[in-house]
Amino acid sequence: MRAKVIIFIVGAVLILAGCAPQMRTPKEICPGKDSVAEALAALQSQAQKTVSLKASGQCRLEFYVEGKKKPQKENVDIRLRVNPPAEIYLWGDKPLVPKAIVLGSNEQEFWLAISPKEISLYGWGKWSEQGSTGGLMIDPRTLLEAFGMSEVDAEQDWSLSNEGAFDILTRLDDGAVTKKIHIYSCQYHVSKIELFDSKGRVAACAELDSYEEVSEGFYVPVWIKVTTFTQDEARDPLAITLRLKSVQASKKWPGIIFKRPPPRGFKNVGVVVNGEWIEQPQ
* In a domain? residue 196: no
pLDDT, mean of residues 250-255: 96
* In a domain? residue 171: no
pLDDT for 13 equals 37
pLDDT for 277 equals 81
* In a domain? residue 136: yes
pLDDT for 231 equals 54
pLDDT, mean of residues 258-275: 89
**Which of 148-152, 204-208, 276-280: highest mean pLDDT?**
204-208
pLDDT, mean of residues 258-269: 91
* In a domain? residue 190: no
Buried b / exposed e over 93-116, threshold 16 CB at 10 Å, is: ebeeeeebbbbbbbeebbbbbbbb
* In a domain? residue 218: yes
Instruction: Report d(CA 281, CA 15) in Å as an integer.
Output: 27
* In a domain? residue 10: yes
Enter the pTM of the model: 0.83
Buried b / exposed e over 199-217, threshold 16 CB at 10 Å, is: eeebbbbbbbbebeebeee
Q: Higher pLDDT residue, 278 or 8?
A: 278
Number of domains in the chain: 1
Indicate if the pLDDT at residue 68 is higher than 90: no
Instruction: Report d(CA 165, CA 152) in Å as an integer.
Output: 21
* In a domain? residue 140: yes
| Segment (H or E) for 240 | strand 238-249
User: 58 is in which domain, residue-wise?
Assistant: 2-29+51-151+212-279
pLDDT in tens, 185-241: 999 999 999 988 878 888 888 899 999 999 999 999 999 998 877 655 544 566 788
Q: Higher pLDDT residue, 269 or 63?
A: 269
Angle ∠(164,211,196) on CA atoms, nearest 5: 60
Among 8-12, 168-172, 174-178, 180-184, the minimum mean pLDDT is found in: 8-12
Indicate if the pLDDT at residue 162 is higher than 80: yes
What's the N-to-C CA distance of the chain in angstroms? 15
pLDDT, mean of residues 241-265: 94
* In a domain? residue 183: no
pLDDT for 204 equals 81
Among 62-71, 92-101, 252-261, the minimum mean pLDDT is found in: 62-71
Indicate if the pLDDT at residue 114 is higher than 90: no
pLDDT for 8 equals 40
Q: What is the CATH number of the domain that holds 132?
A: 2.50.20
- Mean pLDDT, all residues of the chain: 82
Instruction: Name residues whose C-beta falls within 8 Å of residue 69's C-beta, 6 or more positions apart in sequence.
Output: none
Percent of the chain scoring above 70 in pLDDT:
81
Residue whose C-alpha is closest to residue 229's, from 191, 195, 182: 195
Indicate if the pLDDT at residue 139 is higher than 50: yes
Cis peptide before 262 (omega within 30 of 0): no
